[in-house]
Structure 1
Amino acid sequence: MRILGIDTSTKYAGIAVLEDGILLAQSTMQFMASHSEKLLPEIAHILEIMKIPLETIDYYAITVGPGSFTGLRVGISTAKGLSFVTKKKVIPVSTLEVIAWEFPYCKYQICPIFDARKKEVFTALFKWENNKILRLKEDSVLGINALVDWIKEKTIFAGSGADFYKEKLIEKLGSKAIFPPLIYSVPHPGIVAYIGLQRINEATNGKDLKPEYLRKSEAEIKITLSTSSQDKV
């Protein structure tokens, strides 16, 4: 079984191909240009050099958020297009869970963090027990002080937001806060594909795929505020 994993949730974008749990190819890049300009050409490039015909991909796995609003739209639109063309299903994956899977069998809690701006973070809480990853907190958007209230024991903080809020977390949590090298803060597409392999039963038609923003985009907020102001006139 072949799964194509895609991630565009951060400033990085990645593609990976997994066959029966074995990684065949993986590409992760920090795109200086828009994801929309590079994603499809990179997918085509990976499949071409590995001599993997698109029609031999059985499923697509895609991060649906939280993360960059623009990046998620590009990735999900691409997955929908591929699903439509090949008539193959798509498996949605939480970006935060991808980060947690980068620390298999870790004895500490794992708290992925992405900066959500406005002094808030996208976050969740996981822990490995009995060789399985358990979700302790659902994907959320909250202030850093509210996040600190979650933490009662030593915890690994990873993700772009972990580095951004590192000093604040150390100030609040002291030795309870553990920070791995920054390379573990990037969602790896091979893990996206691997999680997809575990979730085949959650595969959906591409047209049903939706991003998990967790909150409204700036454009939506402006529209809501504008509509509210007009209603008051």
Structure 2
Amino acid sequence: MLFLALESATSHQSVAVFRDHHLLASLDCESGRPLTPQLITTIDRLLSSVSLQVSDLEGLVVSIGPGTFTGLRVGLATMTAFRLALQIPLVGVSTLEGLAWNHPLSDLPLLSTINIRQETVYWGLFRWEDQQMVCIKEPQIGKITEVCGALSEPTIVLGDGWIQNRNTLLSKGFPLIEASPNQQWPSAKGTGLAGRVLLERGVFLPQGCTPHYIQPSYAEISKSKVLDPIG
């Protein structure tokens, strides 16, 4: 199956095209530029680099959170539009699971982190078992020092939750093993590999689905205060 993967949950946004489990090409989106107008251009450039057209695609993969409100919303809207236009399946991958797929077939647990603020992170714990990625702890929010303090064995840590809090975590002597620099950010490569499994299983996103923010967006909080000013 020829499919397109999009990772837009963080400031490191990228697209990739696969044929089955083989990566054909990938491109990073330009940081600092509005995401919406450059996504289509970047996808066109990606497909042209391997002599493909959008109409050749047979499947779509998108990161559905957690992550930034705008990045997730734009990414899902873009891939939903492709699904409707092309009438092909779309699957959604947890951003944290996609990040864990950056580190293939490790014997150790994989702690995926996305920084929020002041040592607070999105995190999830994963492990390879019989060449399958298994989620040990579902994506959630927590203090990274508490999360790492509860680890019972050496664990590979990925993501900017680690990057932003590296010195603090190292000083506490937690059993952490740092992933290589090219594995530290969510990417369309990892998201695509995770998504291929869902495409093969037929686990498609339903119509009208929304990203998995885990915590409400600022807009949702503001709206709830207007509707219920006492709360």
TM-score (norm 2): 0.91
For residue 119 of structure 1, report the CA deviation from its aligned partner. Answer: 4.2
User: What is the root-mean-square deviation of aligned Cα atoms in Å?
Assistant: 1.8
Q: Secondary structure in 1 aligned to 2:205? A: coil
Distance 1:221 1:89 in 2: 32
Q: Which residue of structure 2 lines up, in the alignment, with residue 188 of structure 1? A: 187
For residue 107 of structure 1, report the CA deviation from its aligned partner. Answer: 2.1
Distance 1:66 1:225 in 2: 23
Checking the alignment, whether the CA contact within 8 Å between 2:16 and 2:23 is kept in structure 1 is: yes
1:99 aligns with 2:99: yes
Distance 1:118 1:176 in 2: 21
Structure 1 residues 193 and 39: CA distance shift in structure 2, 3 A: same
Structure 1: tracts of 5 or more residues without a match: none
Q: Which residue of structure 1 lines up, in the alignment, with residue 219 of structure 2? A: 219
Q: Which residue of structure 1 lines up, in the alignment, with residue 69 of structure 2? A: 69
Deviations 1:168-193 (A, max 9, x none): 22233x15022223321122212222
Checking the alignment, whether the CA contact within 8 Å between 2:6 and 2:61 is kept in structure 1 is: yes
Q: Which residue of structure 1 lines up, in the alignment, with residue 160 of structure 2? A: 160
Between Structure 1 and Structure 2, which shows a larger proportion of helix residues? 1
Q: Which residue of structure 1 lines up, in the alignment, with residue 205 of structure 2? A: 204
Q: Secondary structure in 2 aligned to 1:12? A: coil
Checking the alignment, whether the CA contact within 8 Å between 2:8 and 2:14 is kept in structure 1 is: yes
Distance 2:119 2:97 in 1: 22
Q: Which residue of structure 2 lines up, in the alignment, with residue 133 of structure 1? A: 133
Distance 1:225 1:176 in 2: 42
1:122 aligns with 2:117: no
Distance 2:179 2:18 in 1: 26
Checking the alignment, whether the CA contact within 8 Å between 1:114 and 1:160 is kept in structure 2 is: yes
Q: Which amino acid aligns with 2:161?
A: G
The percent identity for this pair of structures is 25
For residue 118 of structure 1, report the CA deviation from its aligned partner. Answer: 5.7
Count of aligned pairs: 229
Q: Which residue of structure 2 lines up, in the alignment, with residue 58 of structure 1? A: 58
Deviations 1:21-73 (A, max 9, x none): 22111112452112112111111121223221212211100000111111111
Checking the alignment, whether the CA contact within 8 Å between 2:119 and 2:165 is kept in structure 1 is: no
Q: Which residue of structure 2 lines up, in the alignment, with residue 40 of structure 1? A: 40
Distance 1:12 1:145 in 2: 24
Q: Which residue of structure 1 lines up, in the alignment, with residue 10 of structure 2? A: 10
Q: Structure 1 stretch 22-31 or stretch 89-98: which is displaced more?
A: 22-31
Distance 2:84 2:150 in 1: 41
For residue 227 of structure 1, report the CA deviation from its aligned partner. Answer: 3.5
Q: Structure 1 stretch 111-120 or stretch 212-221: which is displaced more?
A: 111-120
Q: Which residue of structure 2 lines up, in the alignment, with residue 89 of structure 1? A: 89
Structure 1 residues 68 and 152: CA distance shift in structure 2, 3 A: same
Distance 2:159 2:116 in 1: 12
Structure 1 residues 208 and 76: CA distance shift in structure 2, 3 A: same
Distance 2:121 2:35 in 1: 22
